[in-house]
Amino acid sequence: MSILITGGAGYIGSHTDLCLLNEGYDIVVVDNYDNSSPEALRRVMELTGKTFPYYEADACDEEKLAEIMKKHGVDSVIHFAGLKAVGESVRIPLRYYENNLLSTIRLLKAMETVGVKKMIFSSSATVYSADNQVPLTETGKLGCTNPYGWTKYMNEQILRDAAVADKELTVVLLRYFNPVGAHESGRIGEDPSGIPNNLMPYISQTAVGRRDHLTVYGNDYNTHDGTGVRDYIHVMDLARGHVAAVRYADTFKGSDAINLGTGVGYSVLDMVHAFEEANHIKVPYVIGARRPGDIDTVYSNPAKAKEKLGWQAEKTLVDMCRDQWNWQSHNPNGYAK
Ligand code: NAD
Ligand code: UD1
């Protein structure tokens, strides 16, 4: 039996491939390399000493997905494939709705055709409405502020409905908080195309000299130092969370949403200073205006993941900063030669 990983060449996907292979699972990867490179897959093979089949294919191609699942005896799917740039989703919403919703629908239909009954889905803390109290629990009110977020919200609804209609289906909706860091080898990591939207890749690209300075988006928030607070989680902890979710999917039918976070919030300046201290390098920054759509504080209540998945984050802030820099400093231009 094998696990189909859509978007398996991407940032979280490649780290999850590695964890699954190390745990003895067979995998097959589908990616269209829209935001990734097959080089990540080559490096996963190098790190694990294992090979696996991978296809350059679109996760919206229902026939191809069915053919691949049948050929490789797939019995569960982890669906990472999706577009994820918030600002871009505001500029070109239809591309986001088309890619992120159609891929899920076509994948579900292909699964139905070949009788695959388990799916782990990449959702996000962004599905929580801004008026919840922190820490965020899975029963919090849902609601979004941008098309990217709405695609996650709508995908969750589609998957819940599918699991109501098909009593044999199991869907685990993993709501990630802020993934950062890289595998400790520094061989795989996050390689955002263009100017990074997210904080940590911006910090590490500034440290390596690709960016002049970081702009801190506002220092007048209601937090301990005025800068925004988030729940940063090491990507290897997140990847392990997927292995736990694959096991959990064997134990129930229906759908379940679970936070993957640490339960601890750090501010932008906490992250800058931790990065500087862990790596003995300066990160020049200036204070700028608030970014539209941002809020003061977001962090998880991770209790459900501990209870249901038997999983909790283990890596420290120092691990996150050190591994982020190890990847960035050894691969200043990401996977590009
Ligand atoms: P990523 O861009 O590195 O990985 C996504 C992968 O999907 C890429 O390799 C891309 O080429 C591929 N892809 C996109 N559309 C595809 C399609 N139609 N067919 C085949 N492949 C396709 O992003 P990531 O950070 O690894 O995120 C993985 C998933 O987790 C995404 O769904 C993302 O929305 C979600 N997520 C990410 C974060 C984060 O901060 N990184 C937070 C919450 C949720
Ligand atoms: C952002 C997205 C969210 C998405 C998540 C993961 C927005 C409004 N939210 O969340 O939908 O799920 O990424 O992809 O875009 N910051 C700076 N300077 C920078 C970059 C960020 O100060 O150059 C600050 C932000 O204001 C925030 C914190 O750093 O306080 C984290 O930002 P980011 O990494 O973009 O994550 P989120 O805002 O949590």
Q: Tens-digit pLDDT profile for the chain (337 aa)?
A: 899 999 999 999 999 999 999 999 999 999 999 999 999 999 999 999 999 999 999 999 999 999 999 999 999 999 999 999 999 999 999 999 999 999 999 999 999 999 999 999 999 999 999 999 999 999 999 999 999 999 999 999 999 999 999 999 999 999 999 999 999 999 999 998 889 999 999 999 999 999 999 999 999 999 999 999 999 999 999 999 999 999 999 999 999 999 999 999 999 999 999 999 999 999 999 999 999 989 999 999 999 999 999 999 999 999 999 999 999 999 999 998 6
Probe target for ligand 1 pocket from 19, 28, 29, 31, with the most ligand atoms within 8 Å of CB: 31
Decide if 285 contacts 225 (C-beta within 8 A): no
Strands 229-230, 266-267: pairing kind? antiparallel
Around 89, how many Cα atoms within 13 Å sit in the side-chain half-sphere?
20
Beta bridge partners of 266: 230
Pocket of ligand 1, beta carbon within 6 A: 6-7, 9-13, 30-36, 58-60, 80-84, 99, 103, 122, 124, 176, 178-179
CA of 33 to the centre of ligand 1 (A): 10
Rounded distance between C-alpha atoms, residue 138 and residue 156, angstroms = 13
Probe target for ligand 1 pocket from 4, 5, 11, 180, with the most ligand atoms within 8 Å of CB: 11
Phi and psi at residue 186, to the nearest 5°: 75, 10
What is the model's pLDDT at position 1?
86
Phi and psi at residue 29, to the nearest 5°: -105, 140
pTM for the model stands at 0.98
Buried-exposed string 229-255: b where 16+ CB fall within 10 A, e elsewhere: bbbbbbbbbbbbbbbbbbebbeeeeeb
Residue whose pair of structure tokens reads 């249901």 in the numeric block: 308
Among the bound ligands, name the one nearest to the CA of residue 217.
2
What is the model's pLDDT at position 312?
98
